[in-house]
Structure 1
Amino acid sequence: MSEASTAGSASAANQVQIPTKGRRTIWAWAFVIATGGFLFGFDTGVISGALLFIKTDFHLNSFEQGTVVSVLLLGAMAGALGSGRIADPIGRRKTFALEGLVFLVGTALAVFATGYPMLLVARVVLGLAVGAASATVPTYLGEIAPAQLRGRVLTLNQLMITIGIMVAYLINVAFSGSENWRGMFAVGTVPALVIIVGALLLLPESPGWLLARGQMEQARRVYAGVVGDHVGARLVQEREHQREQERARNAAEDQQVGWRGLFSAAVRPALLVGITLAAVQQFGGINTIIYYAPTIMEKTGLTASNSIFYSVAIGIINLVMTIVALWVVGRVARRRLLLFSMAAMLVTLGVLGLSFVAGWSSELSLVVMVLYIASFAVGMGPLFWVLIGEIFPPYARATGSSAATAVNWTSNFVVSLVFLTVVNAIGLGQTFWVFAAICAFALWFIGRYVPETKDREFPAIDADLQSRFGRPAEADQARSV
């Protein structure tokens, strides 16, 4: 693809004017799709409070308690890996409806669990749904949103994840007085039903998926519902022209579609960026605080009930800063925001480690913890999900998103499994310093290899990415856009 065609394609796409009604339609679709992100957050967060009462009812030892938390992450790995194989042949919409059904089944199993084995099965089923949704939602959102809305629409996924975590914390507090852990899980049936009903009655199929399958008229109707018949027909023609160019380039480079295609020379840079960001997002320590906030706060001398209450403050700041990110991500360059976020995480983790080593008060430790959460939520939290919906070529987007998400869940599992063991071995403060060192590496990696994606179509993003990995750039000007 020539420089002129690359710039022309991006310019044409960005010149499309979306009427107010069309924007409202896109946001309505996006909110329904992002309900998958809400359940992602809810089902990973609700266990922090429910476990306090489950361990008594089912007489769980420490190992069994750990498996109840971490087995969801094993299910999520499998769900993330499998979702791409399902979403490509049957479409994003049907896959999303199936994920809602799996959420519903897993929630029912948890609510009616009669013992530890059944509860484990429930958590695995919920994990399958969480992992599948975490891969499908960014892909689906990225394909229904035009370039000028794509960043904010993709950030909505992280916003809904944090809302889900926040709601889980509040539900934990609401049901803690009655010790009704089954009621905590049961709340998840409502968003699961929203997913199923929304997918069946409201959502369209992704126009990107329709075009890839040659279903031109169906894609035109989806576009027409947003920008009108005339512009919709023009967009279909432009997208098909871009796809023809991509097919020609793929044939020239002998690219493979599917899992093997991720390791082709053209896709490998996107894969390396995706899986590296997936790993450092988790090894930066975020979910040790999400999952173990009450446990961490107990180490400062607080009672169990006060520790649960303090965790709500973490949920609130996570939500507030993600809302800030939703506004900022559409206005600030992605790389700049990501670099700022990672630098702030590095500093706050260093200070947080010092707070525990030096024995600061619980209030001061909480303040630093909140600043760390804010640093993550305004950048690294949402932007990982934004980027994996933007950096992969269309023919590898679902599979690439699945691979990156699977690495994210694998890293999540490893960190959550070994966190308390590492704390017992080297100390809580020193463990946070290890996370800080990982953030330092991430800061270097982002500065060197992550491309800018804001307001850019895929050809320009890909040219930037390829040049950063030393491959011949198709548009030398891409990195300066």
Structure 2
Amino acid sequence: MQAFSGAPGRREGPLAEVPPAGLRKIWTWGILIALGGFLFGFDTGVISGALLFIRSDFDLDSFQQGSVVSVLVLGAMVGALTSGRIADRFGRKRALEAEGLVFLVGTVIAVFAPGYGTLLAGRLILGLAVGAASATVPIYLSEIAPKDIRGRLLTLNQLMITVGILVAYLVNLAFSGAGNWRAMIAIGAVPAFVIVVAAVLILPESGTWLLEHGRRRQCRELIASVTGTATADRLIERYERRTREEAERHEPHETGARALAAPRVRPALVVGLALAALQQFAGINTIIYYAPTIIEQTGLTASNAIFYSIAIGVINLLMTIVAIRAIDRAGRRRLMLASLAVMTVTMALLGLSFVADWPSGLSLVFMVLYIAGYAAGLGPVFWTMIGEIFPARAHAAGSGASTAVNWASNFAVSLAFLPIANAIGQGETFWIFGVISLLGLLFVLRYVPETKGREYERIDADLQRRFGRRPPENAAAGG
């Protein structure tokens, strides 16, 4: 239904005129789709508690423990890169269905793993599903979203990621007394099963994908189910008229990865890849990983690291909810700028607190403020932006490439943090993250357009201008 929200594929949206009953249906679809984000969060978070018991059961050394964690990230990179081709060929609905099934297979293998090798294989398969879902969900959400609620609907992805992480921590806590790591991982099968059932029985195919594949009648029925037949006919005609206008301007219509190479798509690709790397290289995961140590230094007991992880998860979740409420009011760009400003300042102060040996309570305050700033802006806005800046023909490929870079950056930062901190000091390492946040702030100021409430033509025209390119004639007025 990207045709509903205003691009060549997200053109002025059929869903700009949706009655309350139709909006309720769209929100139901959105929540079910965003369960893919929940599994993303759950499977990346549950291993933190499970590994405490896996390492003793399987007698794992430090390398093996690290590989159990990192193999999921490697699988996710592959899954994200391949998801675009699958979603373009078979549809968003079928892609999500397949990802749910892969989640189930990976979970079963991990739960019943007799040893390290089988567990590693299960985690790799889970990674493929996590990466594919992390790329598919933003595409799917953006293609069912009316422009007036597009930001909130897309932010469901990040909300469900944070809910998944928090639920993983709670599940870890619930089973930690018995040391039952298999039960911790097994809980992930429940939402995976729900996704498969929802994709088969409830979720519609994306209207954009249907139109792009010549299935006009099915698209009309889909739009009519939330807007009425008269509105559906008018909006499909509007979509088709703009498609003809593109053809008259002789704009190329390659799809998938080839579309990403088109000169007009390169600004969107640069923004998507840069924000993907920035989200990880600004240091969020190292702060979350380091939280138990900082908490311990405040004088509070940190013997139960899982319990304190829950507190961090709650902060992350609450600030994501703040972002959902603000994203369609304040706008994506303003939230991201404010977020990066907070992250820059708090990371500089956090580094200084270590270098100057300030009271550890201040370190905790700076860490919490940093997480709050990230969760209220850069965290959710990245996933929203990659659902809005690409044209329909490059939508799945652009989201997949951006998500793959995000996972690769996650992997690189996780590997590099401890060696760098040991070489130059913890405080100085945090300063590096602060500098990256500042550079990200400058990048957003110069190159990232506002997408709130705008049709794709206007977003693209703004992108072209920011990169010193001339927008297509009449593009700025498009939509």
Q: TM-score, normalised by structure 2?
A: 0.94
Question: Is 1:418 matched up with 2:416?
Answer: yes
Deviation at 1:228, TM superposition (A): 1.2
Contact 1:289 1:296 in 2 (8 A): no
> What residue is the counterpart of 1:356 in the other structure?
354
Deviation at 1:284, TM superposition (A): 0.6
* Superposition CA RMSD, Å: 2.2
Unaligned runs of 5+ in 1: 1-5
Counterpart secondary structure, 1:453: coil
Which range is displaced more, 365-374 or 22-31?
Answer: 365-374
Cα offsets for 1:389-431 (capped at 9, x unmatched): 0000111100011011110010011111222222222222222
> What residue is the counterpart of 1:427 in the other structure?
425
Letter in 2 for 1:174: A
Contact 2:10 2:208 in 1 (8 A): no
Letter in 1 for 2:347: L
Q: Choose from 329, 332, 335 the match for 2:333.
A: 335
Aligned partners of 1:331, 1:254: CA distance in 2, in Å? 35
Aligned partners of 1:89, 1:10: CA distance in 2, in Å? 18
Deviation at 1:260, TM superposition (A): 2.6
Query: Quick one: percent identity of the two aligned structures?
Result: 62
> What residue is the counterpart of 2:3 in the other structure?
none
Contact 1:70 1:417 in 2 (8 A): no
CA spacing shift, 1:370–1:408, aligned 2, 3 Å: same
Letter in 1 for 2:440: A
> What residue is the counterpart of 2:167 in the other structure?
167
Note the 1:158-237 alignment, pairs <5 A: 158-237=158-237
Letter in 2 for 1:432: F
Aligned partners of 2:10, 2:99: CA distance in 1, in Å? 33
Contact 2:22 2:225 in 1 (8 A): yes
Cα offsets for 1:117-173 (capped at 9, x unmatched): 111111111110000000000000000111111111001100000001111111111
Deviation at 1:290, TM superposition (A): 3.7
> What residue is the counterpart of 2:71 in the other structure?
71
Aligned partners of 2:474, 2:350: CA distance in 1, in Å? 43
Q: Choose from 267, 288, 293 the match for 2:265.
A: 267
Aligned partners of 2:370, 2:432: CA distance in 1, in Å? 15
CA spacing shift, 1:122–1:15, aligned 2, 3 Å: closer
CA spacing shift, 1:388–1:255, aligned 2, 3 Å: same
Aligned partners of 1:354, 1:376: CA distance in 2, in Å? 19
Q: TM-score, normalised by structure 1?
A: 0.93
CA spacing shift, 1:439–1:390, aligned 2, 3 Å: same
> What residue is the counterpart of 2:46 in the other structure?
46
Counterpart secondary structure, 1:204: coil
> What residue is the counterpart of 1:325 in the other structure?
323
Deviation at 1:330, TM superposition (A): 1.2
> What residue is the counterpart of 1:239 in the other structure?
239
Aligned partners of 2:307, 2:84: CA distance in 1, in Å? 39
Question: Is 1:37 matched up with 2:37?
Answer: yes
Contact 2:387 2:399 in 1 (8 A): yes
Question: Is 1:439 matched up with 2:441?
Answer: no
Note the 1:400-411 alignment, pairs <5 A: 400-411=398-409
> What residue is the counterpart of 1:3 in the other structure?
none
Contact 1:147 1:455 in 2 (8 A): yes
Aligned partners of 1:240, 1:142: CA distance in 2, in Å? 19
Deviation at 1:80, TM superposition (A): 0.2
Deviation at 1:370, TM superposition (A): 1.4
Aligned partners of 1:116, 1:224: CA distance in 2, in Å? 52
CA spacing shift, 1:413–1:12, aligned 2, 3 Å: closer
Counterpart secondary structure, 1:144: coil
Letter in 2 for 1:455: G
> What residue is the counterpart of 1:385 in the other structure?
383
Cα offsets for 1:321-346 (capped at 9, x unmatched): 00111110011121111101111111
Unaligned runs of 5+ in 2: 1-5
